[in-house]
Amino acid sequence: MRRPLVAGNWKMNTSYAEAQALAQGIRERASASPVEVVLCPPFVWLDLVRRILADTDIALGAQDVFWEDHGPYTGEVSPAQVRELCKYVIVGHSERRTLFNDTYEAVRKKCSAASAAGLVPILAVGEDAAERESGRTEEVVCAELAAALPEPPSGPIVVAYEPIWAIGRGYPADPEEAQRIARLIRSQLAQLGCDDENTPILYGGSVSAATFEGFVSQPDIDGALVGSASLDAEQFALLVEIASRTQF
């Protein structure tokens, strides 16, 4: 059985004091859960949050990573550096792909380097509104998946299906449509030689407590990658509780 996973991507939010309060609030509300809980704060607060989460089961993730080990790459952070603090790293988030020019090639290199360093990549894939309207959702998701996965597959991975048109809008996708794409992702993982049965597949895009149960009760959706709702400890803990109640 796959362990459900709820990951909070804080994006470029929180001051030092806010990050401290948020991590403490989540620690109090979500540390005794059978769900794998992952917090992905900005790089600058990783060590702060790591210290707050010490002696809990809550895992830490970075929001991005570079593929080189060390060297003259001003502003970048290596997989080995991230691995000293984190278990997970988000790779290929649509904001990285669209705003920071993370190409298929860059995402593949990041994914491989993260796996090689012992990190678990949370690989985000998903179509934008125009691709969806022109009926290209399946094609885009499969292409992003195939382009990103290391060959041969090395180590565990998490895949997050995040339709770009549903991110940060307040309107999530239809849970049954998300299930159909999650099923497709699982069959693609099998074709690509990955351990499809044990790979958690998450849904992401305007996840909230009001609609989450519809997603996490789908057979191929094992949890969520959460943006806005992860910035409120109570809301986030509610999502963890819903995942726990629905899956166990």
We find the least distance from the C-beta atom of residue 168 to ligand PGA, in angstroms, to be 4
Tokens for 22? 């948020």
Q: What angle do CA 97, 179, 91 make, to 5 degrees?
A: 25
CA-to-CA dists, residue 58 to 48, 123, 158, 174, 191, angstroms: 14, 19, 16, 29, 32
CA-to-CA dists, residue 244 to 142, 148, 172, angstroms: 29, 30, 20
Candidate list 137, 142, 227, 239; residue touching ligand PGA; CB under 6 A:
227
By CB under 6 A, residue 98 contacts ligand PGA: no
Spell out the residues 6+ positions from residue 210 whose beta carbon is closer than 8 angstroms to its own. none
- Within 10 angstroms of residue 118's Cβ, the number of other Cβ atoms is 12
- Quote the strand ranges of the chain, DSSP E: 5-9, 36-40, 59-62, 88-91, 120-125, 158-161, 201-204, 223-226
- Identify the active-site residue in 36, 127, 144, 162: 162
Question: Nearest CA to 207 among 180, 236, 186, 183?
Answer: 236
We find the least distance from the C-beta atom of residue 208 to ligand PGA, in angstroms, to be 8
Piece in contact with ligand PGA (CB under 6 A), picked from 48-56, 128-136, 221-229, 239-247: 221-229
By CB under 6 A, residue 125 contacts ligand PGA: no
By CB under 6 A, residue 61 contacts ligand PGA: no
By CB under 6 A, residue 228 contacts ligand PGA: yes
By CB under 6 A, residue 200 contacts ligand PGA: no
We find the least distance from the C-beta atom of residue 139 to ligand PGA, in angstroms, to be 22
Residue 141: phi and psi, rounded to 5, are: -60, -45
The C-alpha atoms of residue 186 and residue 164 are separated, in whole angstroms, by: 20
The C-alpha atoms of residue 208 and residue 203 are separated, in whole angstroms, by: 11
- Identify the active-site residue in 36, 93, 127, 144: 93
Candidate list 142, 167, 181, 240; residue touching ligand PGA; CB under 6 A:
167
Decide if 93 is catalytic: yes
Candidate list 226, 233, 238, 242; residue touching ligand PGA; CB under 6 A:
226
Tokens for 187? 């069959």
Closer CB to ligand PGA, residue 9 or residue 188? 9
Pick out residues in 126-165 that bind ligand PGA (CB under 6 A): 162
Candidate list 5, 9, 63, 200; residue touching ligand PGA; CB under 6 A:
9
Candidate list 23, 60, 225, 237; residue touching ligand PGA; CB under 6 A:
225
Decide if 68 is catalytic: no
We find the least distance from the C-beta atom of residue 205 to ligand PGA, in angstroms, to be 5
Catalytic residues: 93, 162
Q: Which residues bind ligand PGA (CB under 6 A)?
A: 9, 162, 167-168, 204-207, 225-229
